[in-house]
Amino acid sequence: MVDEEYQVSRYDEALSLLPYNIRERARKVVRGDRRVAEEFRLRVGWPPTVLLPDGEISLGGNAVTKEDINAVVEITTGASAYSSAIQIRNGYLTARGGYRIGLAGSVFTDDGKMKGFGNFSSLSIRISREIIGSADVVIGELLNGGEFKSTLIIAPPGAGKTTLLRDIVRQLSEGSVDRQGLRVSLADERGEVAAITDGMPQMKVGRRTDILDACPKAQAVMIMLRSMNPQVIALDEITAPEDIRSIESARNCGVELLATAHATGIEDLARRPLYRGLLQDKIFSNFVIIRRNRGRREYVVTKEDVL
């Protein structure tokens, strides 16, 4: 069972990213809701909200202003947005502790190419939580004769893919009494999985895990493949053709993979051109589908050979 104090404390830590006037309203959310809260949502012209498993609830009070949005960016970047320019250009920021801030606003283009991103109109602050042992219910099914086989975690946004991936990485890296730990290379492009600060992971990802963060996933996979001699490469959210090409290269080199993808299930995945090749080429041996049932997560493991 997840420690309730820890769940609430992560909510309370995320409050520090909010401007004072909104922070005080968010403190008044009842403890039961703070324990399960997933995101803060700020939209210019509307009162701020907090996202719960059953939907958003308003924090009331005055509408969010552009100054409120800019204040979150300044707090997150330490008033030095320039140092976070690459993240901002890609529509997000990662705060100390692994809290991810998603941004929406105006995109500036030049000759059809994206050059900048600003004039923010809304944002979300994802309240990330580390759940040690969340992979206990699936880890045994991902092993074949004690050996880990390439696994793809499938779920809609916000269903807990990153949380599950993190704990699988930890368990593979640490090993157990009857299984040696593996060398895991983690491509943590947005800093959400390990949440490195000053070179130290803030989340538990295992003693044999090597992390490359703030680097595009496709590049990170190839760098680690050449430099870290991994047994497993883990990456969160396959989203682009270059991601596909990099993991195919890694798989052809004999490295096992652990990744996540947005979909409701394997049939949904197969309908999408980006992912169709992964199924046809049998890159993954295991698929973990995450579903929600009455507010609780359920995990269904499907093997490639039964598709």
- Listing DSSP states for 157-194 in one string gives TTSSHHHHHHHHHHHHHH-BTTB----EEEEETTS-SS
User: Residue 114: inside a domain, yes or no?
Assistant: yes
DSSP label at 60? Answer: -
Work out the angle between the directed axes of helices 241-252 and 273-280 (0-180°, nearest 10).
10
User: Residue 96: inside a domain, yes or no?
Assistant: yes
One domain for residues 215 and 103: no
**pLDDT band with cut points at 50, 70 and 90 for residue 84:** confident
User: Residue 131: inside a domain, yes or no?
Assistant: no
Nearest to 43 by CA among 105, 90, 89, 1: 105
**pLDDT band with cut points at 50, 70 and 90 for residue 1:** very low
Q: Which of 98, 126, 154 is the endpoint of a domain?
A: 126
**pLDDT band with cut points at 50, 70 and 90 for residue 305:** low
One domain for residues 146 and 94: no
Task: Give me the pLDDT at residue 90, please.
Answer: 77
Q: Which amino acid is at 18?
A: L
**Residue 16, both tokens:** 């520090």
- Domain boundaries, position 71: 4-126
Q: What is the pLDDT of residues 160-198, one digit of tens each?
A: 899 999 999 999 999 998 899 999 999 998 888 998 877
Q: Which of 126, 149, 183 is the endpoint of a domain?
A: 126
One domain for residues 67 and 160: no
Q: 197 by DSSP, 3-state: which?
A: strand
The answer to whether 202 and 208 are in contact (CB under 8 A) is: no
One domain for residues 143 and 216: yes
Phi, psi (rounded to 5 degrees) for 58: -75, 140
Kindly report the length of the chain. 307
The predicted model scores a pTM of 0.83
User: Residue 205: inside a domain, yes or no?
Assistant: yes
Task: Please say if the pLDDT value at position 47 is more than 50.
Answer: yes
Q: Which of 67, 101, 126 is the endpoint of a domain?
A: 126
Total of domains in the chain? 2
User: Residue 151: inside a domain, yes or no?
Assistant: yes
Q: What is the pLDDT of residues 211-253, one digit of tens each?
A: 998 889 999 999 999 999 999 999 999 999 999 999 999 999 9
Q: Which amino acid is at 261?
A: A
Q: What is the CATH number of the domain that holds 215?
A: 3.40.50.300
Q: 86 by DSSP, 3-state: which?
A: helix
28, 59, 120, 223, 236 from 51: Cα distances, Å: 15, 10, 20, 37, 22
Phi, psi (rounded to 5 degrees) for 120: -65, 135
One domain for residues 217 and 268: yes
What Rg, from alpha-carbon coordinates, does the chain have?
A: 20
Task: Please say if the pLDDT value at position 19 is more than 90.
Answer: yes
